[in-house]
């Protein structure tokens, strides 16, 4: 029985988990670095433990300190949130070895999906369409050249252990391939401690469509439809929506059922996201995320399923409370990620928030740990708030989103709100006519308003 959960995270996602736990009568323990002593997650949890100095390596990534915090606080479950240790199989294993429940899938599944090549292989075997590419890491430049000729240029050189939108290099010709391989291997070694790279067909104007799944320990899985996360800069998502403007009911069920079957066959448990690129009516699997996603709220808004509650439910070994026929999609939801950054250069802009006034009213949800006086430290991810807006149709949702963005006041630090406003004012976005490269192109001609 899980009755006290330690949240191995900070910021908005720590709050999201605290809220779900409280509604389920589960006690919560926050961990925090010395930079987060006054942070909202530290204040809101039933108990909090300081686990180290500001740097993430010494605090939120410090496995031993986190386990010690669980031990002294009497927590019997650990929720990793997203980022930090959420997809660290060794951490999940340590949690289990200490007799605690890891609120997430098994370490084996995390490990399997953490290796992008194995993940593709695993999905391909189960009938999931994958993006064309090499079957494994490329061992030599010669092998890469032959493979690229086979796949057809342009190709994408990807780090086997890559993540967070990093570790990807495009090569448009044999000449670019050589230089690209050198660079990609060097970056992969520096960033992920693993210099293995593989090749994939580079799709020029795909959409990023991902399918949410939920599975229990009893062989049941449901899918909760898709999210369209094509609005990205530098391969990182900025705006997400559900449903996708380009996926109809038939396509949704088709890809959803393929994915659910694969997940059941794998014996996977918990929430998971199967990510695809989608171009010319074709899905291409790219990876699976074995955790709660930043953008999970848009799915919650249109299905009414509370994904964090569902995670806790599954972690308690209970069978899923819903079957596929219970899943209904109603209305439309869009999420905007508000980052503490210069909207023009996209460089992080930490600091202290002076005035804070989040938007509200019907259909508006703000997931954030901000408050007036909050410090946004320079040590962590620059995501400070998620504005999620819901309405009956995409058109109405977009109107509501513009209204909500115009109400948002965050003074004292720079935020990406002006960029989000420019995107939502753009006719192409209004038409739903965008792809993963769209925002990059848009930003080339965009000048942010001066502060
Ligand atoms: P990460 O784990 O770093 O997030 P992903 O494999 O999920 O990496 O890819 C992130 C983004 O990179 C995708 O949403 C897409 O925009 C781009 N991308 C990845 N693979 C390809 C590809 N083969 N062709 C074109 N774009 C790609």
pLDDT tens column, 42-84: 999 999 999 999 999 999 999 999 999 999 999 999 999 999 9
Task: Check pLDDT > 80 for residue 450.
Answer: no
Closest residue to atom 19 of ligand 1, CA basis: 286
Q: Which residues pair with 336 in a beta bridge?
A: 239, 387
pLDDT band at 163 (very low <50, low <70, confident <90, very high): confident
Residues 266, 328 within the same domain: yes
Residues 215, 334 within the same domain: yes
Closest residue to atom 11 of ligand 1, CA basis: 235
What is the domain-level CATH number for residue 140?
3.30.1490.20
Kindly report the three-state secondary structure assignment for every residue of the chain: CCCEEEECCCHHHHHHHHHHHHHCCCEEEEEEEHHHCCCHHHHHCCEEEEEECCCHHHCCCCHHHHHHHHHHHCCCEEECCCCCCCCCHHHHHHHHHCCCEECCCCHHHHHHHHCHHHHHHHHHHCCCCECCECCCCCCCHHHHHHHHHHHCCCEEEEEEEEECCEEEEEECCHHHHHHHHHHHHHHHHHHHCCCCEEEEECCCCCEEEEEEEEECCCCCEEEEEEEEEEEEECCEEEEEEECCCCCCHHHHHHHHHHHHHHHHHHCCCEEEEEEEEEECCEEEEEEEECCCCCCHHHHHHHHCCCHHHHHHHHHCCCCCCCCHHHCCCCCEEEEEEEECECCCCCCECCEECCCEECCCCCCEEEEECCCCCCEECCCCCCEEEEEEEEECCHHHHHHHHHHHHHHCEECCCCCCHHHHHHHHHCHHHHHCCCCCCHHHHHHHCCCCCCC
Ligand 1 center–CA 265 separation, angstroms: 25
Percent of the chain with pLDDT over 70: 100
pLDDT at 171: 97
What is the domain-level CATH number for residue 59?
3.40.50.20
Does 118 fall in a domain? no
115, 117, 436: which to mutate for ligand 1, most atoms within 8 A of CB? 436
Residues 293, 343 within the same domain: yes
Does 117 fall in a domain? no
Does 324 fall in a domain? yes
Ligand 1 center–CA 178 separation, angstroms: 21
Calculate the average pLDDT of the chain.
96
Measured CA to CA, the distance from residue 291 to residue 13 in angstroms comes to 12
Closest residue to atom 14 of ligand 1, CA basis: 208
Residues 267, 403 within the same domain: yes
Percent of the chain with pLDDT over 90: 95
The last residue of a domain, from among 65, 86, 103 = 103
Q: How far is CA 91 from CA 69, 161, 382, in A?
A: 14, 17, 24
Task: Check pLDDT > 90 for residue 344.
Answer: no
Ligand 1 interacting residues, C-beta cut-off 6 A:
131, 156, 162-166, 168, 200-203, 206, 208, 232, 235, 275, 277, 286-287, 436
pLDDT at 25: 98
Residues 255, 352 within the same domain: yes
- Report, as an integer, the average pLDDT of 210-229: 98
Q: Mention every residue, 6+ apart, whose C-beta is less than 8 A from residue 338.
A: 368, 383, 384, 385, 386, 387, 408, 410, 415, 416, 417, 420
Task: Check pLDDT > 70 for residue 353.
Answer: yes
Does 125 fall in a domain? no
Closest residue to atom 8 of ligand 1, CA basis: 165
Q: 155-164, 249-258, 295-304, 415-424 — which is least confidently predicted?
A: 155-164
pLDDT at 451: 58
pTM recorded for the entire structure: 0.96
The last residue of a domain, from among 171, 201, 231 = 201
Ligand 1 center–CA 338 separation, angstroms: 21
Task: Check pLDDT > 90 for residue 164.
Answer: no
What is the domain-level CATH number for residue 259?
3.30.470.20
Instruction: Check if 291 is active-site.
Output: yes
Residues 395, 417 within the same domain: yes
- Report, as an integer, the average pLDDT of 325-351: 96
pLDDT at 422: 97
Closest residue to atom 18 of ligand 1, CA basis: 235
- Of ligand 1's listed atoms, the one at least distance from the Cα of 436 is 16
pLDDT at 419: 96
pLDDT band at 161 (very low <50, low <70, confident <90, very high): confident
180, 227, 277: which to mutate for ligand 1, most atoms within 8 A of CB? 277
Domain enclosing residue 76, as ranges: 4-103
Per-residue pLDDT tens digits for 119-151:
999 999 999 999 999 999 999 999 999 999 999
- Report, as an integer, the average pLDDT of 258-285: 98
Does 127 fall in a domain? no
The last residue of a domain, from among 103, 123, 154 = 103
Higher-pLDDT residue of 13 and 450 is 13
Residues 190, 216 within the same domain: no
Per-residue pLDDT tens digits for 372-390:
999 999 999 999 999 999 9
Residues 197, 231 within the same domain: no
Closest residue to atom 20 of ligand 1, CA basis: 286
pLDDT band at 208 (very low <50, low <70, confident <90, very high): very high
Ligand 1 center–CA 286 separation, angstroms: 7
- Report, as an integer, the average pLDDT of 280-290: 96
Residues 197, 232 within the same domain: no
- Of ligand 1's listed atoms, the one at least distance from the Cα of 133 is 23
Ligand 1 center–CA 235 separation, angstroms: 6
Q: Say how many domains are in the chain.
A: 3
Residues 185, 218 within the same domain: no
């Amino acid at each position: 029985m899980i009755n006290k959960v330690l949240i191995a995270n900070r910021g908005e996602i720590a709050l999201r988990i605290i809220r779900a736990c409280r509604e389920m009568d589960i006690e919560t323990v926050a961990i925090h670095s010395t930079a987060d002593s006054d942070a909202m997650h530290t204040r809101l949890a039933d108990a909090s433990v300081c686990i180290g100095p500001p740097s993430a390596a010494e605090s939120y990534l410090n496995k031993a300190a986190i386990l010690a915090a669980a031990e002294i606080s009497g927590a019997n479950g650990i929720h990793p949130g997203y980022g930090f240790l959420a997809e660290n199989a060794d951490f999940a294993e340590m949690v289990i070895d200490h007799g605690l429940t890891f609120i997430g899938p098994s370490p084996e599944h995390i490990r399997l999906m953490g290796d992008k090549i194995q993940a593709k292989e695993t999905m391909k075997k189960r009938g999931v369409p994958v993006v064309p590419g090499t079957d494994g890491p490329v061992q030599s430049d010669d092998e890469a050249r032959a493979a690229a000729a086979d796949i057809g240029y342009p190709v994408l050189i990807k780090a086997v252990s890559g993540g967070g939108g990093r570790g990807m290099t495009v090569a448009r010709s044999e000449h670019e391939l050589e230089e690209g391989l050198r660079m990609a291997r060097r970056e992969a070694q520096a960033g992920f401690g693993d210099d293995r790279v593989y090749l994939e067909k580079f799709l020029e104007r795909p959409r990023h469509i991902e399918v949410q799944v939920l599975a229990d320990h009893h062989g049941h899985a449901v899918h909760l439809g898709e999210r369209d996360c094509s609005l990205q800069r530098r391969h990182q998502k900025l705006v997400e929506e559900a449903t996708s403007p380009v996926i109809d009911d038939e396509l949704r069920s088709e890809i959803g059922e393929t994915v659910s079957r694969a997940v059941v066959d794998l014996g996977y448990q918990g929430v998971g996201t199967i990510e695809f690129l989608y171009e010319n009516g074709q899905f291409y699997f790219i990876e699976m995320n074995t955790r709660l996603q930043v953008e999970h709220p848009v799915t919650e808004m249109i299905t009414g399923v509370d994904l964090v509650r569902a995670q806790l439910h599954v972690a308690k070994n209970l069978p899923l409370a819903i079957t596929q026929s219970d899943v209904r999609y109603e209305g439309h939801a869009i999420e905007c990620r508000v980052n503490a950054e210069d909207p023009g250069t996209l460089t992080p802009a930490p600091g202290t928030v002076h005035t804070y006034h989040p938007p509200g009213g019907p259909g508006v949800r703000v997931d954030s740990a901000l408050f007036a006086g909050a410090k946004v430290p320079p040590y962590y991810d620059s995501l400070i708030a998620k504005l999620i807006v819901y309405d009956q149709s995409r058109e109405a949702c977009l109107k509501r989103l513009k209204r909500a963005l115009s109400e948002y006041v965050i003074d004292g630090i720079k935020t990406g709100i002006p960029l989000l406003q420019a995107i939502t004012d753009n006719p192409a976005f209004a038409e739903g006519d965008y792809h993963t490269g769209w925002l990059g192109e848009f930003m080339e001609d965009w000048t942010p308003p001066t502060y």
